[in-house]
Structures are given as C-alpha cells and as structure tokens.
Amino acid sequence: MAYAQLFHDLRSTSNYEEEIRQLKIKDELIDSLIRDIAYEKYLKKIKKPVKAKIMIAQEAEDLKQQGNACVKEKKYQKALLHYSQAIKLTPKNYSLYSNRSFTFLMLERYRDALNDALMTIRLKPYWPKGYFRKGEVEMKLLYYEEALKSYNIALSLKPDEPKILEAINKASKSLIKDRRGTRYTEVILEL
C-alpha cells in the first residue's frame, strides 16, 4: 500500500511527465555510454592482434631480407636459418618456402629442397617459380622427365620466360642423353 501511495503522489505532481522524459533521456544516455564502452573494449581487443600480426609480418619480412642478403653472399647455411625462422612466423608465405628450397638446393639437401618446392606449389599453385624450383631439384636428383614436366608447367604459367626455356632445353638434353645411355647399357648387357 505504501508503494501505491508513493506512485499516486508522484503521479499527482505537475512535473510527472517532465520527470519521465528526463528519466528516458538519462536511460538513453546510459545505454549509449554502455555501447561506447563496449565498442572501445572491442576495438582494443581487435587492435592488439592486428598490431601483433603486422609486427610478426614485418619481422618475417626482415628475416627474409636477411636471408636474401646471405644468399647473395653465398652464406647458404645462415640464409637457411633466416628463412626457417621467418616460416615459423608466417607459415603460409609461399615465397619463403621457395627461397628456402633454393637454399636447400645449394646445400645439396635435395629432399628438403623438394619438400619446400612442393609446399610452395601447395600454397600458390599458379606461381611459376614453385614449379621452376621443383624442376631444379628434380634435375639434381636426375629425374629428368619429371623436371621437364615441372618446367613445362612453369612455362605454361609464364610463357616465353628465358630462364624456364633454358631449363627446358637443358632437361630435354639430359633426358635424351640419359635414355641413350640406358639403351647403350641394355645393348651391352644383351651381348
């Protein structure tokens, strides 16, 4: 009953409508402030990971450039370390695998070079350099036919590229020479 009386007393005041309007305005302001605070918290949560990703990407790029500098100086072991660290930071960066594949190739670690070339292709299937790297490794492994196929795919993605055309020519000659050697060996074994 006391509540009913209080409600009746409030209603009977002449400022009742004005007080209701003021309360509604206050509620709207409070709701707006709550939304603003929530939005600021949301932005802070988003900005931190974005900043972290940018910093990680920049660090990976710096490591890549250090690796490239080492390759120019023929310091392949050191380049390998830089590329590997960069890959840990950005494991979906296809060019890092390509560069590391080249480094493994120079260190005569052919299986590792082939694995990285395949990863390059998996990450960026329409990039000719991945197939070129694969072909280079296959040449070192004496897989001339496979190398020729890889080079042809690279050429289909980048027609008239002199390096690829030269590699195709080299692979073709090696394949012919290998087949002649195989036939010569077969003829001698038959005798």
Q: What is the pLDDT of residue 56?
A: 85
**Residue 188 confidence class, pLDDT cut points 50, 70, 90:** very low
Report how far residue 105's alpha carbon sits from residue 139's, in angstroms, rounded to the nearest whole number.
11
110-191: CATH class: mainly alpha
Which ranges of the chain does DSSP label H, i.e. alpha helix?
2-12, 16-72, 76-89, 94-106, 110-123, 128-140, 144-157, 162-190
Q: Quickly tell me which residue has 């000719």 as its tokens.
A: 128
Higher-pLDDT residue of 109 and 47 is 109
Q: What is the pLDDT of residue 35?
A: 74
Tell me the mean pLDDT in the region 17-34: 72
**Residue 187 confidence class, pLDDT cut points 50, 70, 90:** very low
Residue % of the chain over a pLDDT of 90:
61
